[in-house]
Structure 1
Amino acid sequence: MTDLLCKKVFTCVQYHFVFFVLIFLFGICHVSVVHQFESIGQDCGGDLPEPRGIIKTPGFPTEENPTSTYPSNTDCYWVKQGGEHTLVQFKFWALTIENGQSNSNASCEYDYLNLTITSVGSTMFCGFFTPTGEIRGFGSLHVHFHSDDSVNYRGFTASYQTVENFNPCEPNPCINDGECEIGNGIDRVCKCKAGFLGEYCEIDIKECDSDPCQNGGTCSDDKSPNHYACECPRQWDGTNCEEERGSPCDPNPCQYGGTCENVDYVAICTCRPGYDGEICEIKTGCGNPGIPYLDRHRRFNTGTSLQYSCIEKYVMEGKQNTTCLSDGTWSNEIPNCKLNGTQNQQSSDGLTSWSRGMIVLGSVLTVNIAVFGTWMWFKSPWAILERLGITGGGIFLQQTHSINPANPSNQVERIRTLSVCSINETSEPSRTYSHTTPVT
C-alpha cells in the first residue's frame, strides 16, 4: 500500500515536475518569440511621426555584422501621412534587393520595395543599383518592402523628409530683382531680368565683353543692368561711335545772333552784347531804348552809355545821355528833337520872298522873250547876213547860256529846307546816336 502510494506520489510529482518544466520552457520560448517580433516590428514598418528620418530593411548590415541580410517572407509597411500641400522628399542611400525573373530589375516579382507618394504614384524598386537623385511629390508617403522565402540580400536604406504648406518661393531666393516661379509644382525657377543669368540670377552679363564701341570708343556697362554706353571721341557719334559727326556749328546752336566756332568738334559761342550763357540763352544788360531801325535782338551791356544829338535847326527835349543800369533799365528816356520855331518862321519868310522874286523875274523874262521872238521873225538883222553868207548864232547861243543866272545860296537853302520838310513829313526822329562801352 505504502509502496503503491509512493509510486503514485512519485509519479504525481514526476508528472508535476514535467508539467512545470514544460511551462517554464514554453515561457522562455514565448518571451524569445515576442522579443524577436518586437525587434522586427521596430525595424519593419510603422507610422513615421517625425518630419524626417531613416528607413531601412530589417537586418541591414552594420559594422558589427557587415554580412547581414534581410529576413525571408517579410512585409514591412512605413506610412507618413501628409496633406495636399505637404512636400515629401525621399532619397535612397543603398539598395541591394533580389532581381526579378530573367535577372530583371524592372519586373521585381520576388523581392521588391514599392514606394508611393500621392501626387507621383507608385514605383517598384529591386536590383543592385542605387537610384540617384531625389524623389519628390505632395501628399502622403507609403513604403512597402516584401521578401519571399528564397534568396536574400543586404536590403536598402533611405531617408525621408516632409515640409508642411510648402512654397519654394518663400523666401524669394532670386537676387537682382529676379522673380521666383514654381515649376512642375515643386521646383522653384528664377526668372531673371534682362542683363542677368544663373540659377538665382546671380550672374551679371558683361555687355562690354563683345567690344561694341567702334573708332576708339570706350565701353562702360556699370551704370545700369542690360545696358552699355560708349564714350566716343569727339569726331564720332552714335550708339557705337559708328557715325562721323558733322560740324557742331551746323546748325548754329548759339541763340540771338551769337557766333559759333568749331573748336575740336566742340561748339564755342561768342555772344552779342547783352547776352550770356553757354549758347547765349541768357539775356543781360538792356534792350533797345527806342532807336529806330535797330536789330530787334540788339542789346547793350550794363554800363553802356548812349549820347543823342539833333540835326541843324532842331532842338532837343529831354536828357542827352542815358546809361544801361544793372537792373536792365535805362537811366533816362530817349529824348525828342523838335524843330526850332524861330528858324522855321525865317525859313518860311525867305521861301516866300524868293518865290515872289522868281515869279516877277519869270514874268519879265517871258515877255521879253516873246517880244524878241516877234522882232526876230519879222525884222531879223541876221537874216541879211545869212543871205550874205555871214553867221552869228554862236554868239547868241553863248549869251543865251549866260542869260539864266542861278543863285547858289538860294538853291542850297532850298535843299536844306526840303530835307527838313521831308523828315517832318515822314515823322522820323531827326537824331543820331553813338555808344561807348566801359572798359572792364
Structure 2
Amino acid sequence: MEEKKSAKLNRRKFLSYSALGLTGLTILPGWVMANGKRIAPSDRVVLGFIGLGRQGISDFNSFTGCPGVQVAACCDVDNLKRIRFKNKVEAWQAGQNIPQRCDMYEFYEDLLERKDIDAVSIASPDHWHALMTIHSCEANKDVYVQKPLAFTIREGLEMVKAVRANNRVLQVGSQQRSSEEFQQAVELVRSGAIGHIESIYVKVGDSPKPLDLPEQPVPSGLNWNLWMGPLNDPAIHYHPDLCPPISINPEKDEQLWGAWRWYRETGNGYTADWGAHMFDIAQAAIGMDGLGPCEFIPKGYNNTEYLTMKYQNGIIMTEQNWRDGGKRGSRGIGFNGTKGWVNVMRGYIESSDPSLLGKKEKEIAEGEYEVSSPHMQNFIDAVRSRKDPIAPVEVGCSTNTLCCLANIATELQRPVKWNPATLSFGDDKEAKAHRLYGYQYRNPYSL
C-alpha cells in the first residue's frame, strides 16, 4: 500500500512540473473538426474507460461516432487488454488528426483522479459496477455503465443515491431504449393502440447456475485478486472462461464473452443479462419505470409453468416464448392487450393490426447490436445539457431489482412478495437475507 501511495505522489509531482500536463496532450486547443462537425472546446467530452474486454471495445467503437468525444485514459486488471485498448484508441486518434495518447491504469481510482476526464464508461463485471460508479460520482465524473446496473438490489439503491447526491449524469447501457423497433413497441402500448395490457411474454433465458469450472493457474499480467474485488465467496477461482484471455502478438481477441455472468457466485444469469434488456422494455411500455412487480413466483412452484411476475395493476408477466413461427424461442417481448398484440425483438416488430405499423424485420449480425452510437450520443447530449438521458439510474435500478427478485424467488423455490413503493420484503426475513439483496463485501471493500 505504501508503495502505491508513493507512486501516486511521484505522478502528481511529475504532472505539476510538466509544461503540458495531461490536459495539454489530450484536449485539443481551439475549434476543431470532429467527425465532420465543428466542435467548440466547451462542448468536448473527455472519456476514460474502465473495463476493456469485448464490451469495453464495443462501447469505445460506439463513442467514436459521437462528435466532440475524446479519450484520455483506460483501465483494466489485465495488462494485455490495456495495451490492446491503448493501441485502438491511438489509431483512432491518428485518423482524427489529433494528438495520440491514452494513458493506462491498473487501478480505476488512479484514473478517477484525472481532472481532465469528464465522464467514464464502465464495462467491468457486474460485481464491480456499484463501487466504480459511486466513486466516479464522488470524483465528479458522469457515468455510462453497462447493464445490469448492479449485482445486488442494495448496490443499485446506493448507486441512485450517489448519482443524485453528486448531481451526476448516468446512462445505463440498455441500448434497446434507443432502438427504433423497441421505441415503436413502447409507443403502441403506451398509446392504448392494443387496448389494456393483460399479459406480457418475455423470453430471456435461464437463471444462473452454480460455478462448475475447474480451477486453473492465473496467467501473468492478470491481477485476479483485483478482478475479484468485493466478491467474498471462497468457491470462486480463476478459469479463463471467467476472464477470457487475449494476445497482442500474434493478435488474438477473446473467443467468448465473459462467462462470469452465467454463474451464481459471479453473475445473475440470463435473467439479468438479457432481462436487463427485455424486462426493461416491458417496464417502460407499461409505465413501471422506477417501480416493478409486487410478486414473483418461480417456475415449478405448485406446477407453475413459467417464472411469473405480478403487478399491482393486474398485469402478469411471464418468462416464456413470446410468439410462434420461425424465430420461436428468440429473446424478445410479446405485449397482449384487449384489442390486439405487439411482438418485438431486435430487428423485428409486428402487430396484430398491420395498419398500426406493419411487419418490419431485418437480420442482426453477431455483435451488431452491441455497437449503439445513438445510445452513446444520447448520453453525451445529456452530459452537455445536464439533463437525464433515456436510461437514467432510477430506470436501471428498478430493472436490476426486478431481475434480482426473480432470481431470489427461483433460488428459494417459493413466491416472494415485494413492495416497490417502500422497497421492502415486508416480514420476509429469508428473502432480505439473500445475497442478491446485499452481501458482505470482502475486506477491505465496503459499500
Question: Smaller-chain TM-score range?
Answer: under 0.3
User: Structure 2 length as normaliser, TM-score?
Assistant: 0.15
More strand by share: 1
- Structure with the greater relative contact order (CA < 8 A, sep ≥ 6): 1 or 2? 2
Structure label with greater radius of gyration: 1
- Higher helix share goes to which structure? 2
